Chain A
Amino acid sequence: MTFIGGDGMAIQVLLVEDSPGDVRLTKEAFREANGSIVLHVASDGVEAMAFLRQEGAHAKAPRPDLILLDLNLPKMDGREVLAHIKDDQSLKTIPTVILTTSEAEGDILKSYQLQANCYLSKPVQLASFDALVKSINDFWLIKAKLPQQKENS
């Protein structure tokens, strides 16, 4: 099995999510799916951008291999975060997957226009949610080839 980097390096995932319940469920589901994942959490858009830009308390933050981004967030919402990421020459290559409860066609279209790599609806059922996290792991962290980390911070 080849993981990112190929050397059994930890996989860095940034989850941008304001609901503590959803954070906990996602953490548990990823722990179950793949032991090599280090899941970082930002609970609003401002914190997510500080993490990605390694500002303030996040000066030592690693560059994520994958970003899971909720749309409806306090302070700065997911659409704005997505626009900032895809507008940044360095950050735009990080696959950014929308993971939200919104099923509105308008949100889906807008996210793809802003060049989200993929749009997923959070299922309400717990078993479906676990299955979705397994799919994310299988597709993005095992099957897909991601840009290589330039250095290990």
Chain B
Amino acid sequence: MKRAAKILLLVEDSPGDVRLTREAFRSAKGVTQLHVASDGVEAMAFLRREGQNRDAPRPDLILLDLNMPKMDGRQVLSLIKADNDLKTIPTVILTTSEAEADVARSYELQANCYLCKPVELDAFESLVNSIYDYWFVKTRLPYREQV
């Protein structure tokens, strides 16, 4: 079931959270190739392979923060799910917001899942392990054509 390294796009503006996520994925059981976009505009350029992102790979999974500069996560999510090609990439919201309105709105926009970032470091690592195990080991993802 495990093939090549899984490709993950993390859309996150906080450098601290990026670092913690990177470290947590590194200590997860398998190999993840992590790409980071620090705002929504950069995320869309990566996904659409625009500008400097001409050789960007198609991610197997997107972890998307909601509150970001330039273009926020809700907007990125609607653009992804309105695009016939991109909509099949599972997009998981990973945010500090616990607001019911954000949760409901995200599922309305067809986020594949909504996760709250725990503040405790151990809980955060355990969440990353769950994401890895659930999405990269248990779940069948759409076949990714080699770039």
Contact = CB atoms under 8 A, between A and B. Distances in A.
A145 B143 CA distance: 27
Contacts of A117: 112-113
Contacts of B133: 135
B25 to A, nearest CB: 16
Interface string B61-79: 0000000000000000000
B115 A144 contact: yes
Nearest to A98: B140
Contacts of B24: none
A120 to B, nearest CB: 6
A130 B142 CA distance: 24
B110 A92 contact: yes
Interface residues of A, number: 29
Contacts of A49: none
B87 A120 contact: no
Interface stretch (B9-17, B30-38, B44-52, B100-108): B100-108
B90 A118 contact: yes
Given A93-B104, A108-B143, A145-B103, A118 B113 contact: yes
Interface residues of B, number: 28
A105 B142 CA distance: 7
Contacts of A144: 113-115
25 contacts: A89-B108, A92-B108, A92-B110, A94-B107, A105-B142, A105-B143, A108-B141, A108-B143, A112-B88, A113-B87, A119-B139, A119-B141, A120-B140, A135-B133, A135-B138, A139-B113, A143-B127, A144-B114, A145-B114, A145-B115, A145-B116, A146-B103, A147-B100, A147-B104, A148-B100
Interface in B77-131: 81, 84, 87-88, 90, 98, 100, 103-104, 107-108, 110, 112-116, 127, 130
A144 B90 CA distance: 14
The interface centre, meaning the residue of B100, B113, B116, B140 with most chain A CB atoms within 10 A of its CB, is B140
Contacts of B104: 93, 147-148
A109 interface: yes
A118 B139 contact: yes
A115 B108 contact: no
Nearest to A109: B142
A73 B108 CA distance: 26
Contacts of B81: 115
